[in-house]
Amino acid sequence: MDKIWWEQITRASRLLRTVSDTMLGGKSVILSLPPSIPWYRTMYSRIEELLHQGNPNNCLQEFSCPPGNVGEFLFETYCKQEKRASYRRGMSYAAFLAKSEDLVLNDRYLWVRDVSGEKLEEWSRFLVEYYKNLPEGMPPAVFLLETVEGEQPRKAVKGVQSIRFSDEVDAYDRFAFCALACTEGGVPIVLRPYLAELVSTLCQDDVELCAACIQRGQSFLTDPEGVLNDIARRKTRSNGETFDIAPMLAGLKGRLWESQLKLIFPVLQQYSAEFIQQHEKEIRAALPLTTSYGETIDDPQDAELGLLVYLVGSQQLGLSGPEHKQLVLFRNARNSLAHMRPLDFSNVEKILRF
């Protein structure tokens, strides 16, 4: 599932290429990620792979944001002892590191995790001074500062590009992932569009939860609430954290209805149109009729499913037993959706197999 998301979903894959291309071009990156970033380690490995393909001489190294002074940390970590001995007080660490040629820092891509708040401002100030003092033609150290969505430095930093996950990936990408992922399970083809729509609507921006639900396939379609609870008890995210299903359970009924409205309602309309076309002569003979709302129906194309059931019941329209049962099923389904009541999956399946 992680490969589908990061390699086959166009905009997710493009996000990684944007990050790697920016870094390969010598610019640092502030990468803003949501708390529920899907398959973090796969994302990291893919960026590492792209950087190696573009520049095999430099390696990617990651570490958590150090608590102390940024410049001092880099000075102590990436300068050999004899190099540190040449440092003279009065020069900033950023300027010293920028002007030093023989540093391992210059053949590194440095991924700094958990950079936020004042530490993001400190890193930004460091990078401003670092790039300002970098001699022309000197290959720079390139940094990726990982922060949470919504965090940005107060001022733009020259030589640093801000890339936000939410600017690159949207709801359509999550639906595309669900549609592709549905092809890998044992769910019948006729039910796959409904499964993809239901999962992407219910789980929204939680792609890993989407994957977990799709892997349960038919069980999820039959009992989404039960499957969500089971996932919360038995499964964890790729980073070991538990799934937060409370928002999904809170909105379950409304999102079930929303998904069914998108997928089921067009089928009901198609059935109605085909039914009227097949029985137009008998329907026309029964018109005009006045509905319970006082509306006069004199054109067969205006006959709704409720009116068609009435014509059968009043013996003005002859149907076989199975045909009548199907007409009632479709009438009841339309009424339920019109009143924002989701259908049982057994009826959804019957309608989708029409």
Which tens digit of pLDDT belongs to each residue from 85-134? Answer: 888 887 899 998 988 877 778 888 999 999 999 999 999 999 999 999 98
Q: What percent of the chain has pLDDT over 90?
A: 72
Q: Rounded distance, CA 77 to CA 188, Å?
A: 56
Q: Whose structure tokens read 């049982």?
A: 344
Residue 318 confidence (pLDDT): 85
Residue 153 confidence (pLDDT): 81
Where is mean pLDDT largest: 69-83, 129-143, 144-158, 198-212? 198-212
At a CB cut-off of 8 Å and minimum separation 6, what does 217 contact? 185, 186, 187, 195
Question: pLDDT digit string (tens) for 182-192?
Answer: 987 789 999 99
Residue 273 confidence (pLDDT): 94
Cα three-residue angle 339-191-234, rounded to 5 degrees: 90
Residue 315 confidence (pLDDT): 84
152-180 burial, b if ≥16 CB within 10 A, otherwise e? ebeeebebbbebbbeeebeeebbbbbbbb
Question: pLDDT digit string (tens) for 302-330?
Answer: 889 988 998 888 888 888 889 999 999 99
Radius of gyration of the chain (CA): 30
Question: pLDDT digit string (tens) for 65-88?
Answer: 999 999 999 999 988 887 888 888
- Specify the pTM: 0.88
Take residue 144 and report the two structure tokens written for it.
């990726």
pLDDT tier at 18, thresholds 50, 70, 90: very high
Cβ proximity of 133 and 164 under 8 Å: no
Take residue 321 and report the two structure tokens written for it.
């037993």
Residue 166 confidence (pLDDT): 92
Q: What percent of the chain has pLDDT over 70?
A: 100
At a CB cut-off of 8 Å and minimum separation 6, what does 181 contact? 1, 4, 196, 210, 211, 214
291 against 253, higher pLDDT: 253
Q: Rounded distance, CA 168 to CA 60, Å?
A: 23
Question: pLDDT digit string (tens) for 21-77?
Answer: 999 999 999 999 998 899 999 999 999 999 999 999 999 999 999 999 999 999 999
Burial of residue 213 (CB within 10 Å: 0-12, 13-18, 19+) is buried
Q: Of 224, 168, 209, give the one whose Cα is nearest residue 18.
A: 168
Residue 44 confidence (pLDDT): 97
The interaxial angle of helices 117-133 and 70-78, nearest 10 deg, is 60
- Most distant pair of Cα atoms in the chain: their distance: 103
Percent of the chain that is helix, strand, coil (3-state, to 5): 60, 10, 30
The 10 Å Cβ neighbour count of residue 75 is 20
Residue 150 confidence (pLDDT): 80
φ, ψ (nearest 5 deg) of residue 164: -110, 130
φ, ψ (nearest 5 deg) of residue 152: -145, 150
Residue 204 confidence (pLDDT): 86
- For the chain, domains (ranges, CATH) are 2-168 (3.40.50), 175-250 (no CATH), 261-354 (no CATH)
Q: Rounded distance, CA 22 to CA 353, Å?
A: 49
Residue 87 confidence (pLDDT): 82
Residue 50 confidence (pLDDT): 98
Take residue 253 and report the two structure tokens written for it.
């009924």
Question: Average pLDDT, whole number, for the chain?
Answer: 92
